Structure formats: structure tokens, C-alpha cells
Amino acid sequence: MSNSVSSPVGKVGNANFPVDENGVVYHLGVANNGLAQRVLTVGDYGRASKLRDKLLEQPVKTTEHRGFHIHTGTYKGVRVSIVSIGMGTPMMDFLVREGRFVAVGPMAIIRYGTCGSLRDVPVGSLAIAKDCVLIRRNPDHWHPEGKDAQPYDISLPFAGDSALIGNLTTAFQKGEGLEGRQVVVGTNATGDSFYSSQGRQDANFDDHNQDLINKLMQRYPEASTLEMETFQLYHLATRSKEPIKAAAATIILANRVDNTFLDNDTKSALEIAGGRACLEALINTTL
């Protein structure tokens, strides 16, 4: 007896953009129209399945392939997909590119994640990224021939969609279960590491990042939050030939000023309440 689980991806005949003979894309594992035009994406698989169970109407179609869990159903009668992607910009790159390939028509994508805060606001506050920069570690700095290379590169900012961000801000202000929560709107920085590129000090590694957060704040005084995916969403959305409106919000999990971290119960409640607000913003957006 075999323990193998059959793959949704059949024979692929294209090395440039791998799709099988039924149109199933190689990583997301869904074909034409297998993703809704309105997408709520999160990092954590558990967050996505909680949102599916609490907020989507039945029936919901769920697929799982290569770390992408896609739950497609309706919210208040409007077709939406809730997708968990794991962590980091490469996973967001797969979602936006392969999602754009299979979705039919203009899209709106909201990321709802967790983040660290550069501002001294209480953990459990919410943040909305009006725009986003990318912080990349530059390994050349540590190479014998790369002595002049800076250890980290901070990009120019790319903005989210102002109308979708406006809808999201309103939905957070009015959201059931979000009463009294502070909402910070500012610049997000996406790091290519949770650790070194977010300025965390790790005694086991030689990271040369002691002044990284100061450099970020000097260059971008509105920098408010640090996480790991939003830049790729905002950048690719602006480069898509068919329209993609993008917005991103986060639960402030880590306060990097006073070194506090949010408790699990509050995080869990905010995942549902904030997720509901994200779905409201998605369905109230004209595509």
C-alpha cells in the first residue's frame, strides 16, 4: 500500500511558467478560476482555517499544495478566497503571480498578518501599511572581496491601493470586536529575515545590524512596522498588467520599543475580528 498523496498537478509541458495540461499552476495547485478575484491572504495556516470556519458561508472548497492552503467560498454572498502562504517574500511572489494567472478579471488582495512595531504603541494594536520598503541582507558585506558593501540594503517605497486602504481603514474603525483598538497607518518595512533584517540581536551570529533600525527610521521617519511579505504584494500589484488592488494590515504582536509580546488569546480574537474587517473591505471594493 502506498502512503503517497496524489498531487493536483499533472504533466507540465512548460518550464518558463509551469502549468499542467488542465491549467493547474505548479505551486498553488489550482486551475482557471480556482482563486476568487477577492483574496484575503495570511501567513499562518491556522489563522486561515479559523477565518474559513467562522466567516465563510458553506460550501467552501479547500485545496492544499506546496504550503498554499486555499479556501474559496462566499462572504455575504460575494466570492472570496482565504489563502495561507507561510512566510516570506518568495511565497507572496508565488501567490501573486500564479494567483493572477488563474483568477479571472481584476483582483483585490488584502494581506492580514502580524508584525513588530517600531512605535511605542500597545501590542494588540493594529497597523495598516500605506506603503512599504524592503530590507535585504547583502551577503557581499561578509565576503573578503566585498568590504565596501553595506550589510543591508533598504529599498525605495511602493504604495498600496489608496481606495482599498481607505476601505480597510474604515472597516477597522467600525469593526465588530475592534472597538477601542489603536490603528496605526504608516510605512511598513518587509525584511528578508525575521531576525537580522529586522534588527534583532542574535548572539550566535555576526549580523552587523546594531544600527539598522536607526538607519531605517532616519531614512523613513514614518516607518512603523516590520514583517516579511507586504513589499512583494505591493510591488507586484503595481507591476501587474491586469489590475490588482493591494492593501495590507497587521496585528502588532511585538513591541520593539518596550520588548513586549502579545498574548495568544488576544491574538486569536484579533485574527477573527480583523479578518472580518478585511473581508468587509474586500467585498465593498469595486474591481
Residue found under cell 524592503: 134
Site membership for ligand URA, residue 194 (CB under 6 A): yes
Q: How far is the CB of 28 from ligand R1P (least distance, A)?
A: 17
Q: How far apart are CA 79 and CA 168, in angstroms?
A: 18
Of the residues 18, 44, 106, 222, which one makes contact with ligand R1P according to CB under 6 A = 44
Backbone angles phi, psi at 212, to 5 degrees: -65, -45
DSSP for 28-97, written as a single string? T---TT-S-SEEEEES-HHHHHHHHHHHPEEEEEEEEETTEEEEEEEETTEEEEEEE--SSHHHHHHHHH
Q: How far apart are CA 228 and CA 167, in angstroms?
A: 23
Binding-site partner at residue 198 among ligand R1P, ligand URA, none, CB < 5 to 8 Å by type: ligand URA
DSSP summary character for residue 281 = H
Site membership for ligand URA, residue 198 (CB under 6 A): yes
Backbone angles phi, psi at 78, to 5 degrees: -105, 135
* Nearest residue to 88 via CA among 157, 128, 134, 28: 134
Of the residues 29, 113, 186, 274, which one makes contact with ligand R1P according to CB under 6 A = 113
Cβ proximity to ligand URA, 80 vs 115, nearer residue: 115
Q: How far apart are CA 39 and CA 36, in angstroms?
A: 6
Under rule CB under 6 A, which residues in 63-122 are in contact with ligand URA?
Answer: 114-116
Cβ proximity to ligand URA, 226 vs 248, nearer residue: 226
Site membership for ligand R1P, residue 8 (CB under 6 A): no
**Total of residues contacting ligand R1P (CB under 6 A):** 10
Coil, helix or strand at residue 196: helix
Q: How far is the CB of 86 from ligand R1P (least distance, A)?
A: 7
CA dihedral 100, 104, 109, 113 (to 10 degrees): -70
Site membership for ligand R1P, residue 199 (CB under 6 A): no
Of the residues 127, 226, 244, 279, which one makes contact with ligand URA according to CB under 6 A = 226
Q: How far apart are CA 28 and CA 69, in angstroms?
A: 8
Q: How far is the CB of 145 from ligand R1P (least distance, A)?
A: 33
Q: How far is the CB of 227 from ligand URA (least distance, A)?
A: 4
Q: Which amino acid is at 69?
A: H
Selected range binding ligand URA among 7-15, 31-39, 149-157, 220-228, rule: CB under 6 A: 220-228
Under rule CB under 6 A, which residues in 223-282 are in contact with ligand R1P?
Answer: 227-229
Binding-site partner at residue 116 among ligand R1P, ligand URA, none, CB < 5 to 8 Å by type: ligand URA
Cβ proximity to ligand R1P, 114 vs 209, nearer residue: 114
Q: How far is the CB of 164 from ligand URA (least distance, A)?
A: 22
DSSP for 101-136, written as a single string? HHS-S-EEEEEEEEEEESS---TT-EEEEEEEEEEE
Q: How far apart are CA 170 and CA 174, in angstroms?
A: 6
Site membership for ligand R1P, residue 222 (CB under 6 A): no
Under rule CB under 6 A, which residues in 233-272 are in contact with ligand URA?
Answer: 253-254
Binding site for ligand URA (CB under 6 A): 114-116, 194, 198, 226-228, 253-254
Binding site for ligand R1P (CB under 6 A): 42-44, 87, 113-114, 194, 227-229
